[in-house]
């Protein structure tokens, strides 16, 4: 039996949409909903948010999906709500309660003392219910199947961990961290340091590099604009692919050197940069994510085929 064709008129569009992900949807579910609104033929997301979490989720369409992996290691910031006195299987509100303990009297001094060891370069044990893979299978799948599994400790970086509010058994934290940091683990470890246990009750991602001050759009906003003003009204909200590489230095090539790069050949004579860079031609079109070595030679790390 032949497979039925999808009648959706997908479009070959390229760029980045900053989505304000709602709670209750996985990152992939949110991506697919947005992709259908834009009719994007190809899409991917950068840095998953748990279903419970809300906030900034950059979505990449078309050629922008080629740079999605390079955004995963970017610094991120969160507003986290921590419930003291209750621990769960997943270290967040989606898990089953495994322990309840009384919360001792706490003042800011005692809370700050518990937060201090969780800042900087720290060794963290990720939650068992996580997407980290063991022999190709995510730990959360193994845990749900009843396997006794554990996650290996790993070094992460917590750039900022500030107490914003203390209201009884609830703490609100401002967190800035590097790639691979689990805010759920920070909540769990903070609870243990305070002697009462804790879990992450709510989480909102406020920014991710290089989108610190950009505006994110909800699915409801996008759908409302689409219905009331047409597809052009949401298309203008899509950032160009280059916006995802804005933190990298820019290299502009003349026609001859751009042609050389397009053939996959190295381009010598690039000065003042030793690392990743975004490569443009003389007209300003983004050609590639490149890398310049210590000898000033530029090579393609990821080529892009954006329309002229």
Catalytic residues: 50
- Count of Cβ atoms closer than 10 Å to residue 193 Cβ: 17
CA end-to-end distance (rounded Å), the chain:
41
| Cα distance between residue 167 and residue 38, in whole Å | 42
Name 176's Cβ contacts closer than 8 Å, sequence gap at least 6.
75, 76, 77, 78, 158, 159, 160, 161
DSSP line for 45-67? ESS---TT-EEEEEEEEGGGGGG
**Spatial distance between the Cα atoms of 83 and 278, rounded to a whole number of angstroms:** 43
User: Hey, what are 288's tokens?
Assistant: 């590639």
Distance CA 177, CA 172 (A): 16
Q: Is 204 exposed, middle or buried (0-12, 13-18, 19+ CB in 10 A)?
A: middle
């Amino acid at each position: 039996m032949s497979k039925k064709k999808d009648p959706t008129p997908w479009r070959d569009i390229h760029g980045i949409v900053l989505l304000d992900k709602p709670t209750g949807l996985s990152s992939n579910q949110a991506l697919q909903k947005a992709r259908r609104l834009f009719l994007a033929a190809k899409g991917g997301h950068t840095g998953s948010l748990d279903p419970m979490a809300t906030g900034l989720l950059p979505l990449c369409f078309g050629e922008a999906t080629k740079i999605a992996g390079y955004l995963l290691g970017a610094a991120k910031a969160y507003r986290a709500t921590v419930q003291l006195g209750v621990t769960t299987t997943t270290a967040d509100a989606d898990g089953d309660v495994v322990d309840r303990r009384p919360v001792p009297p706490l003042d800011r001094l005692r809370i700050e003392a518990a937060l201090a060891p969780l800042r900087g370069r720290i060794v963290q044990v990720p939650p068992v219910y996580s997407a980290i893979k063991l022999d190709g299978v995510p730990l959360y799948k193994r845990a749900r199947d009843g396997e006794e599994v554990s996650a290996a400790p790993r070094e992460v970086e917590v750039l900022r961990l500030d107490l914003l509010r203390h209201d009884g058994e609830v703490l609100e934290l401002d967190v800035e961290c590097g790639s691979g940091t689990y805010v759920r683990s920070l909540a769990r470890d903070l609870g243990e340091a305070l002697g009462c246990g804790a879990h992450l009750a709510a989480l909102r991602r406020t920014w991710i590099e290089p989108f610190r001050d950009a505006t994110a759009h909800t699915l409801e906003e996008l759908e409302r604009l689409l219905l009331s003003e047409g597809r052009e009204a949401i298309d203008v909200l899509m950032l160009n692919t280059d916006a995802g590489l804005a933190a990298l230095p820019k290299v502009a090539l003349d026609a001859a050197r751009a042609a050389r790069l397009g053939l996959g050949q190295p381009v010598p004579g690039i000065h003042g940069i030793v690392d990743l860079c975004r490569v443009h031609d003389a007209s300003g079109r983004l050609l590639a994510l490149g890398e310049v070595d210590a000898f000033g030679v530029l090579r393609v790390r990821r080529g892009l085929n954006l329309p002229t």
